[in-house]
Amino acid sequence: MTPPERLRNLLLRVRESIPNEEFCGVGVVVSADLERLPIASLCTDANFPAQQDLAEQIAECSLYSRSCHDGFQIVSEQWQLVQRNQYFAPFPAAECRELIGSVNVGSRYMAARFGSLIEGVVCTGLLSERDGIVVFEGGLPVD
């Protein structure tokens, strides 16, 4: 299974773990190099969830009723949660932005898309009411 396929399956399992009334969207970055990521913690005092399953951990970090539920969850190449609820602010070079063009989407969508262009990022994905599950690799959505 390719990393984008694995991320899509993970996001499906995350969605199944979040009750409808608790769902507000999820963003995930799979990265081989945390040092290259433009991230900052949105909740420095939040503990990592105790669940062993990655989908459950990500779901727990994304429940709307929790004070800390926003941002992107960062997953290592080994498919372990390594950073939770991160402000993720990628901004690629102008030529990369021109390749993507302008589309009518939200900021989490564009962060995931631009973020998939960062060296060391394996793939990114998001789960939203509007877009469903979208996975990006190299700046492009992967079917």
pTM of the model: 0.90
- In tens digits, what is the pLDDT along the chain, a chain of 143 residues? 999 999 999 999 999 988 888 888 899 999 999 999 999 999 887 787 776 799 999 998 888 888 778 889 999 999 999 999 999 999 877 766 666 656 677 888 989 999 999 999 999 999 988 889 999 999 899 98
Per-residue pLDDT, 106: 80
Collect contacts of 90-98 with beta carbons under 8 A, ≥24 apart.
90/38, 90/114, 90/115, 90/117, 90/118, 91/38, 92/117, 92/118, 92/139, 96/139
116 phi-psi bin (left φ>0, alpha ψ -120 to 50, beta other): alpha
pLDDT value, residue 98: 66
Note the pLDDT of residue 124.
98
